[in-house]
Amino acid sequence: MVDCGSIAIRDFPAGMNALAPRLNFEFGLPVGEVGSAPIQRFHRHWQALRNGDHLPSRSDIEPADIKHLLPHILLVDIEAEPFRVRYRVCGTRVAEMCGDVTGRYLDELDGGSIWSPTLFQQQYRTACERRAPIFGRTWILTRFETSHPCLIGIWPLTKNGQGVDMCIAIEDYLELRADQL
């Protein structure tokens, strides 16, 4: 068993254990351990929008208030049954690093040996079920065989105050450049 923050590989769907030796990732990190200014800023903003136990909705988030974070943002629709994640908006920095995923489903993407769509889908599911943000770190192997961290935050959103129907994610690639991939 490999420990990935608070989530163990043995808890993933069949076939995920085979990914453990190739992928380096940690999810379930406390927000204080995520050294990303964009993630920290958005987390404070999201917390300020919460009303007690009620999650913020998409309409509570004014893009002008988080303009400096928009390049790092992924806005996703959550489909409950079967659980699926559909990318509604892909920020320019994310698109530069991963390609524009707008309109695509996470489970239809190929992460190759760099990342696992199944793992990321599980993180979205965890954020939705817990009705709480989840934070993590993964490493991206460059064409020069060096590893660079990518820091991730996923925050649930609700339309009706009850069920989670969207999430906002931030991917911070720090100093990594697209020409290094």
Tell me: the pLDDT tens digits for 15-35? 333 333 345 778 899 999 999
| 58 vs 78: CA distance, rounded Å | 12
With beta carbons less than 8 A apart as the criterion, state whether 127 and 106 touch.
no
Per-residue pLDDT at 162: 75
Contact 49, 27 (CB under 8 A): no
pLDDT digits (tens, 9 = 90+) for 76-133: 999 989 999 999 999 999 999 888 999 999 999 987 656 678 889 999 999 999 999 9
Cα 109 to Cα 32, 87, 171: the distances in Å are: 30, 11, 17
DSSP state of 146: -
Question: Distance (Å, rounded) from C-alpha 155 to C-alpha 147?
Answer: 26
Parent domain of 85: 3-180
CATH number at residue 101: 3.30.450.20
103-110 long-range contacts (CB < 8 A, ≥24 apart) are 106/76
pTM reported for the whole predicted model: 0.84
Among the listed ranges 125-129, 163-167, 175-179, which one has the minimum average pLDDT value? Answer: 175-179
The number of folded domains in the chain is: 1
